[in-house]
Amino acid sequence: MDISLFFIAVVLGSALMTWVLRQYALRRNIIDIPNARSSHVIPTPRGGGVAIVVIYLLAIVLLYVAGAIDQAAAVSILGAGALVAVIGFMDDHGHIAARWRLLGHFSAALWALFWVGGLPSIEVFGWTINLSWAGYVLGAFYLVWMLNLYNFMDGIDGLASIEAICACLGAALIYWLAGSAGYLLVAPLLLAAAVAGFLLWNFPPARIFMGDAGSGFLGLILGVLSLQAAWAQSQLLWVWLILLGVFIVDATFTLFRRLLRGEKVYEAHRTHGYQYASRSAGRHLPVTLAVTAINIVWLFPIALGVGVYGWNGALCLVLAYVPLIALAYKFKAGTAEPVA
């Protein structure tokens, strides 16, 4: 198998399927209509993220058959990813009660953890922590939070796609420089390729939105990839947490602020830092490009130091997050919108 041609086929397949889904959404009137809680002003088809799901999972199957990815890695991604995508697809086409969505999300997380092996031992400020069975509990909450925060952060054109591509390419480059090979390198590169095809239609101004099927799938798979990497080398978990810092900080900072105000955090809102920033800029593109720059100029070099040069992971995480927390505070993440 010519791997370079395979990745090109993934990009083109994702782009073509996104076009097909856009036509389907237009015919079936699966449209996001702007409202008071929206960050867009033009009615836009949604559900294009299904292309990422289908193309990526199909590629994983082909790579498994070709022996380029092992069974545990393939089955964890296929089972958990498919379940989350189906739940998101159904929610995009109607509505699923929050409790049933959450049950499905935890089921997917536990499936992935069963095949991954839970959480590995993690070194924190020189202490090695082995959580044993409790790692499954913590790991499940971690994956479900990653899934949902990615859904929360998919609110402006191109942002969720750019974040996934930056994180996957950054992690793959660090793996390569650190001498890691096999599925650790292939799986994130493959996801970046599938997302790149979708981004051709989602880059500002977006012609189709990702939808819950795509955003939830991406959040979960990125979480699973981080745990798979951590089992290979424990410091690689810190690498992923640093690379995904923009999304983790904005979503978590916003959640805690809303909790402190006594809000129902499961209700739709537009009070994330990136949403305030996009309204301040008057369009989405400057924010999406700014996040890209933060990922490349700030977060990647720190993650590189952890993954390749052995810098202290927990300390570097704090270093990476402090400016991001300051930005979240600056852009009023989690604060109530002024009453018009």
Whether 176 maps to a domain, the answer reads yes
For residue 335, the tally of other CB atoms under 10 A from its CB is 15
The dihedrals phi and psi of 275, each to the nearest 5 degrees, come to: -75, -40
Torsion angle defined by CA atoms of residues 322, 327, 329 and 334, in that order, rounded to the nearest 10 degrees:
-110
* Residue 11, token pair as written in the block: 């990009």
pLDDT recorded at residue 202: 97
Give per-residue pLDDT as tens, 84-93.
999 999 887 7
Distances 150 to 106, 195, 223, 300 between C-alpha atoms, Å: 15, 14, 10, 19
Residues 6+ apart with CB under 8 A from 228: 73, 76, 116, 183, 184, 187
Global pTM value:
0.96
Whether 95 maps to a domain, the answer reads yes
pLDDT recorded at residue 98: 84
**Bridge partners of 124?**
127
Give per-residue pLDDT as tens, 183-212.
789 999 999 999 999 999 999 999 999 999
pLDDT recorded at residue 122: 84
Whether 340 maps to a domain, the answer reads no
Alpha carbon distance 147, 88 (integer Å): 11
Strand 122-124, strand 31-32: pairing: unpaired
Whether 92 maps to a domain, the answer reads yes
Question: Which of the residues in the chain have pLDDT under 70?
Answer: 1, 35-38, 181-182, 339-340
Alpha carbon distance 217, 154 (integer Å): 12
In the chain, beta strands by DSSP E: 31-32, 44-45, 122-124, 127-129
Token look-up 């189709």 returns 208
pLDDT recorded at residue 1: 60
pLDDT recorded at residue 103: 95
For the chain, the domain total comes to 1
pLDDT recorded at residue 37: 62
* Residue 226, token pair as written in the block: 């981080």
Whether 302 maps to a domain, the answer reads yes
Alpha carbon distance 118, 112 (integer Å): 8
- DSSP 8-state class, residue 206: P
Whether 336 maps to a domain, the answer reads no
Q: How many CA atoms lie within 13 Å of 271's alpha carbon, on the beta-carbon side?
A: 25
* Residue 103, token pair as written in the block: 């049950």
pLDDT recorded at residue 340: 53
Whether 338 maps to a domain, the answer reads no
Q: Where in the sequence is the domain holding 307, given as residue range(s)? A: 3-330
Whether 153 maps to a domain, the answer reads yes
